[in-house]
């Protein structure tokens, strides 16, 4: 494994590294962690890389790794840079023959996303995009309960993702680098809040319901100034006549990271929230509410995917790093299947890939366009 971006000062790079450590059998051996060559190398040294694989730039890295004998070069590259580099770096990785795990949003525009998708298919490389929330075992259980018809026909889904991060900013001081690029359209793309977290909300909604968003009508807001949205909501129409509501925000003062999803079927409903990830509740008008607990035998019996994604018995909390690791594990198993020239199983393929990345960008563009054109319905 190699990494581009995600240096020792970055939050998300650390999580990627911790996650692959939990997977086992994967090791970070190469990287280009910063756009500044000296800093990139320093970070590589700090992370224990061999000096010759601690590269000054991602281009050097691709050249360097490709030049190594087969079996001694990295299998895949994790891209943890700001969004503006995703397209170029990912394309180069694919062209160089590497599998790719990419941070979201996939690109700055849907057109770029489509092109990257075509590129990945041509290159026949495995491509993952990091939506960690669908890596949680009980999100997989939720999806399996819906798919099996436990809820009856899905009528409605409500997903909310209210963060308060922009309310922690002290505007009298310089922004951090991360805050800077998140608020800069040249780096972040056409949407801040939707590109950063709205895509997670859309992704988990489609994952759990098994239904694609067909069209949406959005209301995007800018509370903290700047060129990009920091808050928004949308009415949704999903496949099979289901409706939806989605909210994402970076100005919900005092909120940490409480992504929540409600799915209402005609017979039952389910609820999951990211800050209590080990629990899933199932409600019915005619029976007590059920709280399913990760690590229990009855969860394993109901969902092979949840069982596979579980490390610890019930009552021993698992968290965000484990969810990340579950995506990585399936991504790596799919790479291994490719190497072994066998078809990956459905369980191995259970991680967000280039298709989800493209959908995410279409979602972002539709959100922005709907608001810009005066809150009109936009197809995805």
Residues 297-336 that bind its own copies (CB under 8 A): 297-298, 311-322
Rounded least distance, CB 162 to its own copies, Å: 8
**Least distance between its own copies and beta carbon 48 (Å):** 7
- Is residue 268 involved in binding its own copies (CB under 8 A)? yes
- Site residues for its own copies, 59-78, by CB under 8 A, read none
Choose, by CB under 8 A, the member of 39, 178, 187, 243 that binds its own copies: 243
- Distance of alpha carbon 376 from alpha carbon 358, whole angstroms: 22
Give the number of residues in contact with its own copies, rule: CB under 8 A.
83
Residues in the chain, total: 380
Q: Which of 132, 153, 188 is nearest to 323 (CA)?
A: 132
Among the listed residues 210, 212, 213, 207, the one whose alpha carbon sits nearest the alpha carbon of residue 136: 207
| Interaction between residue 217 and its own copies (CB under 8 A) | yes
Nearby residues of 327 by Cβ (< 8 Å), 6 or more positions away:
19, 128, 130, 131, 132, 134, 135, 351, 352
Q: Does 215 bind its own copies (CB under 8 A)?
A: no
Q: How far is the CB of 220 from its own copies (least distance, A)?
A: 10
Which phi and psi (to 5°) does residue 349 adopt? -80, 0
359 in helix, strand or coil? Answer: helix
Candidates 24, 149, 177, 355; binder of its own copies (CB under 8 A) is 24
Which of 112, 278, 348, 365 lies at the binding interface for its own copies (CB under 8 A)? 278
- What's the DSSP call for residue 69? P
Question: By CB under 8 A, is residue 223 in contact with its own copies?
Answer: yes
Comparing CB distances to its own copies, the nearer of 111 and 297 is 297
- Distance between CA 335 and CA 341 in Å, rounded? 10
Comparing CA positions, the residue from 88, 117, 109, 80 lying closest to residue 189 is: 109
Q: Does 95 bind its own copies (CB under 8 A)?
A: no
- Return the range that interacts with its own copies (CB under 8 A); candidates 36-44, 57-65, 77-85, 278-286: 278-286
Q: Which of the stretches 71-79, 194-202, 230-238, 341-349 binds its own copies when contact is defined by CB under 8 A? A: 230-238
Min dist CB 252 to its own copies, Å, is 5
Angstrom distance (rounded) from CA 367 to CA 232:
9
**Nearest distance from residue 108's CB to its own copies, in Å?**
25
Give the nearest distance from C-beta 249 to its own copies in angstroms.
8
Q: Which two tokens stand for residue 216?
A: 């949406």
Integer Cα distance of 246 and 249 in angstroms: 10
With a CB cutoff of 8 Å and minimum separation 6, the contacts of 93 are 62, 77, 79, 99, 100, 125
Contacting its own copies within 343-372 (CB under 8 A): none
Residue 147 contacts its own copies per CB under 8 A: no
195 vs 295 by CB, closer to its own copies: 295
> Token pair 């610890």 is at which residue?
312
The interface region with its own copies, picked from 7-15, 59-67, 89-97, 112-120 by CB under 8 A, is 7-15
Sign of CA dihedral 303, 260, 355, 76: negative
Q: Which of 164, 185, 210, 344 binds its own copies (CB under 8 A)?
A: 164
- Can you tell me which of 120, 151, 204, 208 binds its own copies, judged by CB under 8 A? 151
Q: Which of 61, 82, 101 is nearest to 10 (CA)?
A: 82
User: Which of 187, 167, 196, 161 has its CA nearest to residue 84?
Assistant: 187
Phi, psi of 115 (to 5 degrees): -60, -40
Name beta bridge partners: 135: none
162 binds its own copies (CB under 8 A): yes
Q: Which of 9, 14, 95, 179 binds its own copies (CB under 8 A)?
A: 14
107 or 330: CB nearest its own copies: 330
Among 35, 109, 179, 284, binds its own copies (CB under 8 A): 284
Question: Candidates 21-29, 109-117, 182-190, 341-349 — which segment interacts with its own copies by CB under 8 A?
Answer: 21-29
């Amino acid at each position: 494994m190699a990494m581009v971006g995600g240096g020792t000062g970055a939050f998300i790079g650390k999580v990627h590294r911790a996650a692959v450590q939990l997977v086992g059998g994967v090791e970070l051996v190469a990287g280009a962690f910063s756009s500044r060559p000296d800093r990139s190398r320093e970070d590589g040294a700090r992370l224990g890389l061999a000096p010759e694989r601690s590269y000054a730039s991602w281009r050097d890295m691709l050249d360097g790794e490709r030049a190594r004998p087969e079996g001694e070069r990295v299998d895949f590259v994790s891209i943890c840079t700001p969004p503006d580099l995703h397209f170029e770096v990912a394309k180069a990785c694919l062209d160089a023959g590497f599998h790719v795990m990419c941070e979201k949003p996939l690109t700055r525009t849907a057109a770029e996303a489509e092109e990257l998708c075509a590129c990945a298919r041509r290159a026949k490389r495995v491509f993952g995009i990091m939506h960690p929330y669908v890596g949680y075992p009980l999100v997989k259980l939720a999806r399996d309960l819906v798919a099996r018809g436990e809820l009856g026909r899905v009528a409605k889904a409500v997903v909310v993702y209210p963060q308060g991060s922009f309310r922690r900013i002290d505007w009298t001081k310089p922004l951090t680098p991360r805050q800077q690029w998140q608020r800069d359209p040249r780096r972040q793309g056409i949407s801040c809040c939707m590109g950063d977290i709205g895509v997670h909300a859309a992704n988990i909604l489609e994952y759990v319901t098994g239904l694609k968003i067909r069209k949406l009508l959005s209301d995007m807001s800018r509370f903290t100034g700047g060129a990009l949205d920091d808050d928004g909501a949308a009415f949704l129409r999903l496949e099979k006549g289901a409706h939806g509501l989605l909210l994402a925000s970076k100005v919900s003062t005092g909120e940490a990271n409480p992504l929540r999803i409600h799915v209402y079927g005609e017979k039952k409903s389910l609820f999951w929230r990211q800050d209590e990830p080990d629990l899933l509740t199932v409600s019915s008008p005619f029976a007590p509410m059920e709280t399913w607990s990760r690590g229990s035998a009855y969860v394993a019996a109901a969902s092979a995917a949840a069982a596979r994604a579980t490390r610890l018995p019930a009552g021993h909390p698992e968290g965000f790093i484990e969810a990340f690791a579950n995506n990585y594990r399936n991504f790596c198993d799919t790479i291994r299947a490719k190497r072994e020239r066998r078809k990956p199983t459905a369980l191995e393929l259970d991680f967000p890939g280039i298709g989800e990345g493209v959908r995410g960008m279409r979602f972002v563009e539709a959100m922005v366009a709907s608001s810009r054109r005066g809150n009109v319905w936009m197809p995805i």
